[in-house]
Amino acid sequence: MALDTAIVCRHVADGAPILLAARGEPEGPALAEWRFGCAGADAASDLRLVPLVEVVRRDPSAVEIVLHPRGTALERSAPGARWHTGAGPVLFPHRPSRRWPRFDPIYPPRRGEPLDAADLRLLAEVSQAGYHVVSGASNAAAPAFAFSVGLFRTFDHPEVAIFGLSADVLEAAIRRVGERVRGGERLEAGDVAHGILDAREVTFRRIAPHHYPARLGHAVWYHGGARFPALQAIWSDGGLLPWDRWFSRALRDAQPVLWDPEPA
């Protein structure tokens, strides 16, 4: 995959320090979008393909390029020196949420925490698209699911989760949510939305944080704990919602109740 493969100069492959890092459009036979070099005059004459995770494992500071979108080039004067932006957008320090100031996320990379290929893929997609989608098929213990990671950091918007249909349908629904949020739309608890699922309206409820570890594990990892708001997207069937009297029991069981009931 493009997000998993890096091109390095032969000096870096042989152990030289990384002084240049860039993220571009996927290119070449391996569709690599990451490049790392040593700034040597002949660095571009002999290139190697290696897994991105190996580059970051050897030099954890190289993860800095993963936090930037495509079109970025970083450079530094020596190992351990601060990275400077040679091309692409300059990222500003993260600011606390204006709408949920009580949350205090601790985003990766976190000192001493190893990152695997899936972690890097998540970070790369958030930096490029503003969000990442985690999805999974149903099994004997739980229904299929999909949820966002990154909407809170990028757009100051709750993460969104949805359950109970096929995994590909749910993933597409969360991507529609992400694109609508990117376009400026804000979804709130109690809202009713159309166009997220074909032929089904969707409404939203706040997910109680005690459900986060079991249901939103990657989002908990990304935020450094239950330090983010989240909404459950609840879909209708035949115009009925799960709390309506004639809603199918089988379909009701496919959508776990992750919100706290309204006080009587």
- Please give the C-alpha separations between residue 256 and each of 120, 191, 207, in angstroms, as whole numbers: 30, 19, 11
User: In which band, very low, low, confident or very high, does the pLDDT at 264 lie, cut at 50, 70 and 90?
Assistant: very low
Which one is predicted more confidently, 95 or 258?
A: 258
How far is the C-alpha of 231 from the C-alpha of 215, rounded, in Å? 12
Please compute the mean of the pLDDT values over residues 7-12 and round it to a whole number: 92
Residue pair 224/110 in contact by the 8 Å Cβ criterion: yes
- DSSP secondary structure, the chain, as one string: -GGGEEEEEHHHHTTPPP-EEEEEEEETTTTEEEEEE---TTTTSSEEEEEHHHHHHH-GGGGGGGGS-TTEEEE-SSTTSPPEEEESPPPPPP---SS-TT----PSS-TT----HHHHHHHHHHHHHS-EEEEE---SSS--EEEEESHHHHHS--EEEEESS-HHHHHHHHHHHHHHHHTT----TT-EEEEEETTEEEEEEEPPGGGHHHH-HHHHHHHTSS-S-EEEEEE-BTTB-TTSTTS-HHHHHHS---SPPPP-
For 193-227, the pLDDT digits (tens) are 999 999 899 999 999 999 999 999 999 999 999 99
**The pLDDT value given to residue 188:** 97
Q: In the prediction, which pLDDT does 260 show?
A: 81
Which carries the bigger pLDDT value, residue 32 or residue 34?
Answer: 34
Domain ranges of the chain: 2-70, 130-254
pTM of the predicted model as reported, rounded to 2 decimal places: 0.92
More confident residue, 93 or 204: 204
Q: Which residues pair with 133 in a beta bridge?
A: 148
What is the predicted pLDDT for the residue at 68?
96
Confidence bin at 31 (pLDDT 50/70/90): low
